[in-house]
Structure 1
Amino acid sequence: MDTRTALLAAAAALLVAGAVGAVAAPDALTDPRATDEPPGRIDVAGATVAPGEVRGETAELRLGTDLRHRGGPVENVTVRHRAIGSESGLLVDETTVEVGDVDAEGERTVNGTVTVEREGGYRIETVVFADGQRREQRTTRVAGVAALTPDYADTQVGFTDGSVWPTVAVSVAEAGDGTATLSASVSVTNRGDEASDDVDLRLYLRQAESNVIAAEATETVGTVRPGRTDTVTATVEVPDGYNYYIDAALFDDDVLVDETQGVANLNPRETITANETVRDVAFSVEDFERDDVGGDGADGARREGGDGASADATPGFGPLAALVALVVAALAARRRR
C-alpha cells in the first residue's frame, strides 16, 4: 500500500469514528459557550409621562418605558399601556406597542400614547410581555390633567398680574353734555421665551346696576418681546354719572386665552370694585314696615313705641290706667261712708 492510499484510509477511519461518537455522545459537539449564557431577562428600569396633543375635551399622554435587558435573547416582546380612572376605576384607553425580539444587553426606550379626558386623575398601568407571558409591571399616577392648556389656546401673552401696578387703568379724557370719554389702558405681559404673535384685546363697559353694555372697543396687541410688559390703550364714550365694569379679554384667532376686569366710578355717591360692590344707601323706614297686625314679642315691639304704648293709641291714659282710677275712687267713697 502506497502512502496516498494509507492517508485516505486513515481519514476515512477518523470520519467513521467521529460519526459514531456524535451518535453515542451528542453533547460532545455542543458549543460550551452556550451552556454558560444565562436565560434572557427583561424588566422596566423607568417610566415617564409627558403631555402630548391637548384638545378641548381630551388630552394625549406620551408614555416612555425604559426596558433593561440582560442575559440571552428575549423573543416577541410587547408593552401594554392602560389608562384607568383614579376614582371610577374604569378603563379609559389602552394601547399595545410591539417591540419584537431583544438580544442586545442594555437599555432601550419604548414610546407609546394613551388618550384621556381633560378632567380628574388617572392610573397608568404598564405591563411588559415576552412571548405572551407577563414579565414586568409598573404603575404611574397622573393628576391635574384639567390644568393642561389646549393647543388652540396655547399662548404666552396674558394680562399682567401685579399687586401695585394696575392691570386696567381708567382715566377721563373728556367730559361734557352728559357723556364722558374714557381712556382705558390695559397691561399685557409675554411670559414665554419667544416674541408673541398679534392677539386681539376686546373691552366691554357694563353699567353696574343694569349690566347693560354701554360701550365696547377692540384693539390689536402687537408683538411683545419675551418677558416684557406692554400697554394697550382704548378710548370709549359712555353716559356720565354711572359706574361701569370694564370686562377685558384677549383672543387669539377668536379663542379666549385670558380675561380680567376693572371698574370706572363716575357716580360720586356710589362706588364699585371689580370683586365687591359698596353702596351708600340712605335709611328708609319703609324698609321695615309690616302689613300684618297680629303677633307679639319682637314683632309687637317693632309696632310699639319705646314705652310700650301703641303707635295708634290716643295720647293720654290708656284703658288700664282708667280702670285703676275707678277702683281707687270707689275705695275712697266707701271709706267716707
Structure 2
Amino acid sequence: MDIRTALILGAVVLVAGAVGVAAVPGALDDPRVDDPPDRPSHLSVGDVVVEPNEVGGATADLDMKLDLEHRGGAAENVTVRYRAIDDTSGLLVDETTVPVGDIEPESTDPTDRERPTEHTVNGSLAVDREGGYQLEAVVYEDGTRQTTQSTSVSGVSALTPSYADSHVGFTDGDIWPTVSVSVREADDGTATLSTSAAVTNGGDERSENLELRVLVRQADSNVVADDATETVQAIRPGRTATVDTTVDVPDGYNYYIDVALWDDDVLIDETQSVANLDPQETIDANETVESVEFAVEDFAEDDVADDAADVVEDEPVDDVEDVEDEDAPGFGVFAAVLALVVAALYARRLV
C-alpha cells in the first residue's frame, strides 16, 4: 500500500469517528464530572382562612382556603387533607382530601427557585351547628406528610341559618326603648296595654312584609294572659318603623312581654319587656342570656420536615423557693421560740 492510499484511509477513519461521536449523546462529556443533582422541593403553608359557607338548621359548611408555598425542585403528587375534630369528644366529624397534583418550578434559574410560589387549595368541611371544633390541614407530597396547620373554631351555634338570615331586627338603642309598654285603659279589673316595638332595616334593600307577635305572660305563674299579632309593613333601607299592638290582661299583676319577628313562620329576632301592674312588687326583663359569637383562633404550624421539638423551660429556682416560703408562713418564729426553750432547759441543768 502506498502512502497516498494510507492517507485516504486514515481520513475516512477520522470522519467516521467524528460522525459516531456526534451521533452518541454525551460521548464527549467528561466522565469525571457528575450531573448536577435535582434540587429537592420544599412545601410550606403561607396562610389559612376559615369562613362559614352554607349554614342550615343542624349543620354548617366551613370553607378552608390554604395558601400553599413551593420552593426548590418539582413536587410530585401533592395533596391536602382537611379534618374537623370535635373539641369535646375528640371524634372525627368530617374529612376531605383535595388533590393538587405535580407542582413544577416556574423557572430553571437556581435563584428563582428559592423564591416561594403560592398555590391556593380550597376545601370544605361539614360540622354540626353546635360546640367547637379543631380544624386541621395536612400537606402531603407523594404520600409523605410535609407540614401541618391546625386551629380551633368556637361558637358555631351562633351562625345564623340561611333561611333565618335577615337584615331586619329589633332596634338596639342606648336610650330609645326597643319595646315600650303603657296602660291605655283600666276598668273592672282589666288593663288594656299598648306595646310599641321599634324595628330597623339594616340592609341595603327594601324589606318584605314581616309578622310581629306579642305574648304576655303572668310573671308568677308563667300563664299566657293574652297575645297579639301585627303585620310589619315594608321598611326602607336604614329606616326604623314602630309597630303598635294592644292586649288585655287582668289588673294587679306583673307581666313579661315577649315580642318576636317572624318571616314565613321562621323566627328571625326576639326581645322582651315587662309590665309592672302590681303596686307591691316589680320585675325586670330577663337579661341572663349570654351572647355567643363565632370565633376562629390563629393557626399553629407543625413543620414535619424540621422535626423541631418544643422546649419547656424549667421554673427558676428562686420562684420555687418563694412558693415554699409562702406555703410555710411563721416557720422562722417557731424556730426562734424552740431555740429559747432549749436554751432555758440547758441553763437549768447547769445550775
Q: 1:21 to 1:172 in 2, by over 3 A?
A: closer
Distance, in Å, in 1 between the alignment partners of 2:29 and 2:174 is: 89
Which residue, 255, 276, 284 being the options, matches 1:244? 255
CA distance in 1, matches of 2:70, 2:81: 17
Which residue number corresponds to residue 189 of structure 1? 200
Q: Distance in 1 between matches of 2:136 and 2:222?
A: 51
Report how far residue 81 of structure 1 moved.
0.9
Pairs aligned (count): 269
**Structure 1 214/89 Cα, relative in aligned 2: closer, same or farther at 3 Å?**
closer
Aligned partner of 1:290 in structure 2 is none
Output the CA distance in 2 between the equivalents of 1:94 and 1:261: 42
Summarize the Cα distance change of 1:36–1:228 in structure 2 as closer, same or farther, 3 Å threshold.
Answer: farther
Q: Give percent identity, aligned residues only.
A: 58
User: Alignment RMSD, CA only?
Assistant: 3.3
Match of 1:49, SS state, is strand
In the alignment, does 2:28 pair up with 1:17?
A: no
TM-score by length of 2: 0.66
- Alpha carbons of structure 1 residues 210 and 22: separation in structure 2 relative to 1, 3 Å: closer
Aligned partners of 1:26, 1:254: CA distance in 2, in Å? 84
Distance in 2 (CA, whole Å) between partners of 1:47 and 1:76 is 21
Return the offset for 1:107.
0.7
Give secondary structure in 2 for the equivalent of 1:88: coil
CA distance in 1, matches of 2:224, 2:64: 49
Q: Residue type of the partner of 1:264? A: A
Which residue pairs with 2:102 in the alignment? 101
Between the aligned partners of 1:226 and 1:20, the Cα distance in structure 2 is 79
The range that moved more, 205-214 or 17-26, is 17-26
Partner SS state of residue 18, structure 1 = helix
Residue 123 (structure 2) pairs with residue 123 (structure 1): no
Q: CA deviation at 1:192?
A: 3.9
For 1:274-299, what per-residue CA distance to the aligned partner results, in whole angstroms no more than 9, with x for missing partners?
A: 349xxxxxxxxxxxxxxxxxxxxxxx
Larger CA deviation: 61-70 vs 219-228: 219-228
Tell me, in whole angstroms, the C-alpha distance in 2 between the residues paired with 1:144 and 1:271: 35
Q: In structure 1, what is the Cα distance between the partners aligned to 2:269 and 2:25?
A: 86
Q: Any idea what the Cα deviations from partners look like across 1:126-180, whole Å, max 9, x if unmatched?
A: 1111111222221122222222222222222222223432222123334445544
Equivalent-residue separation in structure 1 for 2:241 and 2:24 (angstroms): 94
Listed as ranges, the gaps of 5+ residues in structure 2 are 5-10, 107-116, 288-351
More relative contact order, 1 or 2 (CA 8 Å, 6+ apart): 2
Structure 1 residue identity aligned to 2:76: E
**57-66 or 210-219: bigger deviation:** 210-219
- Counterpart CA distance in 2 for 1:258 and 1:81 is 35
Alignment-mate amino acid for residue 131 of structure 1: D
Amino acid at match of 1:233: D
